[in-house]
Structures are given as C-alpha cells and as structure tokens.
Amino acid sequence: MAKKKSVYVCGSCGYESPKWMGRCPGCGEWNTMIEEKQMTGSGRKGAFQPAATSYQTKPTPLKDVETIQEARLHTGIGELDRVLGGGIVPGSLVLIGGDPGIGKSTLLLQVSAQLTNQQQRVLYISGEESMKQTKLRAHRLEMPTDELIVYSETNLHEVIETIAEINPSFVVVDSIQTMFHPEVTSAPGSVSQVRECTSELMRIAKTKAIAIFIVGHVTKEGAIAGPRLLEHMVDTVLYFEGERHHSYRMVRAVKNRFGSTNEMGIFDMKESGLHEVENPSEIFLEERSTGASGSTVVASMEGTRPLLVEIQALVSPTSLTNARRMATGIDHSRVTLLMAVLEKRVGLLLQNQDAYLKAAGGVKLDEPAIDLAVAVSIASSFQDTPTQPHDCFIGEVGLTGEIRRVSRIEGRLNEAYKLGFRRVIMPKNNLDGIRIPDGLRCVGVSTVKEALQAAFS
C-alpha cells in the first residue's frame, strides 16, 4: 500500500531532507527548502518502465569504441547554428531559458518551420498553449507550418507515447515547468517533477537519437528555475537575453558539449518574428554620438565572434556620504576595482564621485579585455574630455596599473578596421608577431597612465 510522506527539497540544488531547514546543507542557500508530497511503497514506481537502451552496456576499451560522425541538422537560422556549434546534433537535449515574452517560443517555432521545410519530421509540444493558439501564432508570423505536427499535452506518459508513435527527428517541449510525471505526486513545476521529466526526455533523446529542445522558465535573478541539476543533465544550455524596451535579442550558450561556450547570436524582434543581425557591431554603434565625454569603444570577443560595443560612463560629484557605483551590462565589482586603480595609480580623485556605467545596446560584457575601455571612459567623463571618435581600446588592467595582453587580438583588429576605426590602443605585449590591417595604427601601452596619455593627446 502506497503511503504519502513529506520531503523538503531545495529549489536551487535539489537536496532532499525529511525536515525543514532554514539553510540548505547542499548549496548553502537560505530559505530554499520546499515541501513536497511523495509516494512510498509499491505505488511510487511500477507502471512506467524505461525502455532498454540502445547503447553498448558492457565495459569496452576506448580504442574499440566505434564512432560515427553524424551530420548536424542545420536550422536555416545562421545565428542559432553558430551558438549551437554548427547545427543541431541528433540525440542532443538542449535547454533554452529566458524572461517571459522574450521570444523563446517564437524562435523555436521558426526553427520548427525551417526544419519542416527541409523534410524533417518535427513535433511541437506545447503545455502552455492550445493547438489553435499555436496555429494563430504561426499565421501571425507568416510561417509555412502546414507539415508541422503540434500537440498540446502536459502528461509526460502521453508525450512519450506520442514521440514513439510519430518518431520525429526534432521535438520541442514548451515548457518543462508545465510537464508532470504521473508517478511523481508533487505539483507540476516542482523540483521533483522538473528533474524526473527532464530525465525521461534525456533518455528518449539518447536512445532514439532525437534532438529535443526544452524551454525553461527563469527566476527573478535571471537563472533558470528549478534545481541546478537540470543544467548538468542537458547537453546544451542557451540563455535568451535582451532588454524589454529594445528590439534586439541575444542567445548565449553557457554550456555546450558539442561546441564552444560563450557564443552569442543576435536577433532583431519584429512583427514577423526574429530576424538575424548579420553585422551586430554596426548596430551597437549606429547611435553613438561623437565628441561626447565618457564614451569609448571596445572590441570584445563573444565566443569566436569579435563584437564592437560602446561603453558609456557618467561621473559626477556625489551628494551622499558614500559615492554610488552603478553598472549595466558590466560587472559592478570590475567597475569598483578599475576606479580604485585609477585613483591609486593615476591620481584621479574619484572617491567623492558617483559613477554610472553602461554597455550600450543591452549587451552584457564579462571578459577582461574590456578593462581598458572602461577605465578610459571613466577618466574621460571625470575630466570632461572626449576621446577621438575613431579610437578603439583593448586591454586587461592589473591591480598595479599594468596593461596585460588579451587573446585573439587579430580578429579584434580586423573587426575594428572593418567598422572604420583607424587607431587601436592595446597592450604592448600583443604587438609582437601579429598582422595589422593596412591603414590601422596600433599604439602599444604598458600602463594605464600611458593609455590615458595616448587617448587624450
């Protein structure tokens, strides 16, 4: 006879405890333990048995394992293929998360339509919309989806039976928080439900070589809702980013077993859906005002793609006891560190100044090579002296004020030259053995003080 019991599960890491605790022993987070009802005894598992795996189950030396190079499925959307590492790998499980209304369902519907046009069998499972609503959205986006198979269901058993019956090559599950496993007694969207449903979908993807995309909700902090175990289970994790008041959307890969991470694809949201942005650097710089203090341009690397982004700084005297430091698209701790370096190594009195920094266009920059551009923009705003409109800044700043070398410098230089920049202030150690485009002048600097002298001379 099955019995119900209460188990407290951590919403961050999935740690289970028979009693409630204020702090999770697994991840150390506070107030994340959620009560869930579970079945014990014969009723917990029984009716649903996983299918036999098609993989070899006996231990085998690695040299005897046969490998087959499987062709990737090209989505017909170049920016998404770039993020995935060249296309969709058959048998992969991909998790895509983002804020509500950011465009996750629109992008996956467009991918489904493109694959359908390539004579691929595609199953679109929606737990949040009815089939009529999905069709209305496809018509609004003017997508040719006549052969696309749609299915509105939240019961995982029914979903798995439908996948076995149709045998598609590509499946979309929108979203994982709406799916429920009949043998798990907690509510849909709970830690146990999300974990069990993802586990079953992963088994289907691996045993039947079906590429499955699952949509995940995000928390207020921007992380994918559910236990962190969810991100470890899937092959690829994509984040859909973008500001609600901007039309540009970024898809970023933070985990990818079949390609490089930190790749980014950029889209423009229009009435007819998401459109690829072929030259994102030009988009991010199109509204840049020349002759304004506090504005610099940095050549940042997003995966394998160089990206030119404007960094804006506003430094003004504070009326508070403690000066404010605010940053959008740039790490707040990095801004505080660079202001300390400018004050100690250059002599700029910034302790009584409020500082507001922003990466224009809603993009998020997190690599060390943006340090020099951030430091120059702060100094430019503080001194109210603009930089040259055709200057670009690249370099990592150390705590002693030195400018350290960065990676993939030639790709950054070529992108800057292509966008019309004629001078690049960069680390001196990066000048050895590189090919500089004709017409581009590279100024090597060793310290922040030298960089500021070159920028304002």
CATH assignment at residue 246: 3.40.50.300
* Mean pLDDT of all residues in 440-448: 96
Q: Is 98 exposed, middle or buried (0-12, 13-18, 19+ CB in 10 A)?
A: buried
- Is 156 inside any structural domain? yes
Least confident of 163-177, 213-227, 235-249: 213-227
Same-domain status, 441 and 382: yes
What's the confidence (pLDDT) of residue 144? 78
Same domain (yes/no): 123, 166: yes
3-state helix, strand, coil in the chain (%, to 5): 30, 30, 40
Is residue 103 scored above 80 in pLDDT?
A: yes
The pLDDT tens digits of the residues spanning 154-168 come to 999 999 999 999 999
User: Does residue 65 lie in a domain region?
Assistant: no
Q: Are residues 174 and 104 in the same domain?
A: yes
**Do 193 and 301 have their domain in common?**
no
Pick the residue with more confidence: 3 or 75?
A: 75
Domain that includes residue 407, residue range: 282-456
Residues 216 and 265 in one domain: yes
pLDDT in tens, 202-233: 999 999 999 999 998 876 665 665 656 788 88
pLDDT given for residue 220 in this prediction: 62
Are 232 and 356 contained in the same domain?
no
Report phi then psi at 44, rounded to 5.
-70, -50
State whether 95 and 165 are in the same domain: yes
pTM of the predicted structure, to 2 decimals: 0.77
pLDDT of the residue at 50:
44
Closest CA to 414 of 448, 440, 384: 440
| Cis amide prior to 175 (ω within 30 degrees) | yes
At 291-312, the pLDDT tens digits run 889 999 999 998 788 999 999 9
Total number of domains in the chain:
3
- pLDDT tens across 421-435, in order? 999 999 999 999 899
Q: Are residues 256 and 360 in the same domain?
A: no
Does 138 map to a domain?
A: yes
Task: Please state the rounded mean pLDDT for residues 107-114.
Answer: 93
Does some domain include residue 439? yes
Mean pLDDT of 88-92: 93
CB atoms closer than 10 angstroms to residue 268: 15
Half-sphere exposure of 300 (CA within 13 A, CB side): 29
Cβ partners under 8 Å of residue 326, min gap 6: 332, 355, 356, 357
- Whether residues 410 and 395 share a domain: the answer is yes
Lowest mean pLDDT among 47-61, 128-142, 325-339: 47-61
Among 31-35, 90-94, 115-119, 443-447, the minimum mean pLDDT is found in 31-35
Is residue 300 situated within a structural domain?
yes
Point out which residues pair with 330 in neighbouring strands: 365
Of 278, 296, 318, the residue that ends a domain is 278
Do 119 and 213 belong together in one domain?
Answer: yes
* Residues of the chain above pLDDT 90, percent: 57
Residue 338, CB half-sphere, CA atoms under 13 Å: how many?
A: 30
Q: Is the pLDDT of residue 25 over 80?
A: yes
